Amino acid sequence: MAGGMAAFGVTMARAGKRFLSSLPVLLGVLVFTFLLMRVLPGDPAVFFASGPNAGKEEIEVIRKQMGLDKPVPEQLMLYLYDVGRGNLGRSMTTGQPVTTDLRARLPASLELTFAALLIALVSAVPLGVLAALRPGSIIDHGVRLFCALGVCVPTFVSGLLLIYVFYYLLGVAPDPTGRVDIFASLPPSRTGFLLIDFLLAGDIDGWWAAFRQLILPALSMALFVIAPLARITRASMLVSLGSDFIRTARSVGLPWWRVVVTYALRNAILPVITITGIVFSTMLGANVLVEKVFSWPGVASYALDALLSSDYAPVQGFVLLMASVFVIVNLVVDVLYGIADPRVTVG
């Protein structure tokens, strides 16, 4: 017990150190994005002054509003000062402070990504294990084909296809617009995760509605990431199954499921965790197409809209958010490593 606590303490200390060392990276990302946005050849003030009578004066007003009338170094200093105080600026696209927008939209993206990741893991790991148990068999080839298809079909195509079949043709799915039926009432927002908020409010019908709304987008995202997860599970299971301790375990007559799950899978899971971490971060930022197709009010589609109109503040805020998520996910992966393989904490 004491040993376990100590190991946990070591893991935490290591995580803390990792977090501190990532702060300069975050600052670097911030400054880099800031400069990059200003180098891009689009002038947001001209874009937003697009009313039928907008002239030079309107452009100047917007430039001033966005703080673009000042020299770039001064803008950067002001921006860093604001970020330090938790103010990420204001989005011209939605007219809201960027922090408000991100706070409202991040749970939507996270909920979708978690759901997709759950579906992906629940299907990818068994598929990978099955394929590894019978390499070269029909099952193995079937899994390979399925994975190849999942990767080949872009998420928006699978999304549109799912909508076409389940909403348009069969009519079993709710209309693919956002997180909850537009006519339904929302639960009081506690966590921002609708599935949790509905449960907290004790609204089972609402929970079911939100769940139905979530299935199709989560599925189209999951399809895309099942492949890397299943392949990595298979490869690492193959290595693990071929090692000496498995042969020993088999030879002493342990039940096969115990050999596979307790010994082989636990040893094979490390690379899967690493890939899962990477896949998660990528999904969160790259699910923009799914968000667009399903009108999902998430952060990725928000950032894309902002980017197209050269709206600086939301893009910078989004990149900062993604960098932070990446840092946090890496920390979590570190901690999970410690749990999966106690040796890691020593190193």
**Site size with other proteins, rule: CB under 8 A:** 53
Binding mask 58-97 for other proteins (x = CB under 8 A): xx-xx--x--------------------------xxxxx-
111 in Cβ contact with 278 (< 8 Å):
no
Distances (CA, A) of 218 to 13, 222, 270: 35, 6, 25
* Candidate segments 20-28, 116-124, 158-166, 242-250, binder of other proteins by CB under 8 A: 158-166
Contacts 24+ apart (CB under 8 A), 70-77: 72/35, 72/38, 75/34, 75/38, 76/31, 76/34, 76/35
Among 183, 202, 253, 346, binds other proteins (CB under 8 A): 183
**Least gap, CB of 227 to other proteins (angstroms):** 24
* Candidate segments 57-65, 79-87, 114-122, 244-252, binder of other proteins by CB under 8 A: 57-65
Among 22, 113, 281, 309, binds other proteins (CB under 8 A): 309
> How many other CB atoms are there within 10 angstroms of residue 122's CB atom?
12
Distance of alpha carbon 343 from the chain centroid = 29
**Least gap, CB of 167 to other proteins (angstroms):** 6
19 or 47: CB nearest other proteins: 47
- 164 makes contact with other proteins (CB under 8 A): yes
Contacts 24+ apart (CB under 8 A), 98-102: 98/313, 98/314, 98/317, 99/317, 101/302, 101/314, 101/317, 102/299, 102/302, 102/317, 102/318, 102/321
Residues making contact with other proteins (CB under 8 A): 40-44, 46-59, 61-62, 65, 92-96, 101, 104, 160, 163-164, 167-168, 171, 175-178, 182-183, 292-295, 297, 301-302, 305, 307-310
